[in-house]
Structure 1
Amino acid sequence: MASTLDYVDYICDQIGGAGEISYKKMFGEYGVYCDGKFIGVICDNQLYIKKTKAGALLYPDCEEAPPYEGAKPHFLIDKVDDYDLMSRFIAATYNELPMPKPKKKKGV
């Protein structure tokens, strides 16, 4: 089952305290970004966030699961209604993840 746009918008609102949240449609589901940095995915109306040490400290009992077959385990977030926790969790995750590598220009 593909994720609904209503759910994606809700999630982006819930984690909006962490920074500028955006999403892109990817392979029928959605990639989630914070201030331009890829932080996770929404698959089957479930939020999966990349695993970090900071995230584990803020949400120690968080379940882990791969968002799709062949993927590394991510945090499977089930407490999306707690705006403050979600904002702190996403901000901590953002701070620990590396900046994306600049894309090479085509034809160079």
Structure 2
Amino acid sequence: MTSFAIYVLAALAEIAGCFGFWAWLRLGKSPAWAVLGVLSLVIFALLLTRIEAGAAGRAFAAYGGVYIIASLAWMQVVEGARPDRWDLIGGVICLAGAALILFGPRTN
């Protein structure tokens, strides 16, 4: 599986996990939502360890850009709130930064 695919799956797992707690604590859903959230966050952590990077911090930093794009997609698809142009421009900038961090040339 490619790094990008792992990042996308990790982002979906993290967002779903956090949303489980949001639904429980902010939307009054059943505590079962939090349990599912915990399971989703465990999957997120396991996926993120599959990234090929020389340092954990680099893998986590690059993940940030993918997370932002996935969050904007979640906002539209799940919550029904359409990202505006500033959301989209900011997301593209973050994704470009993530690609630079992950794929940029290294001297060591």
Q: Say which one has the larger Rg.
A: 2
Return the TM-score normalized by structure 2. Answer: 0.24
- The TM-score normalised by the length of structure 1 is 0.24
Kindly indicate which of the two structures has a greater share of residues assigned to helix. Answer: 2
Q: Which has the higher strand share?
A: 1
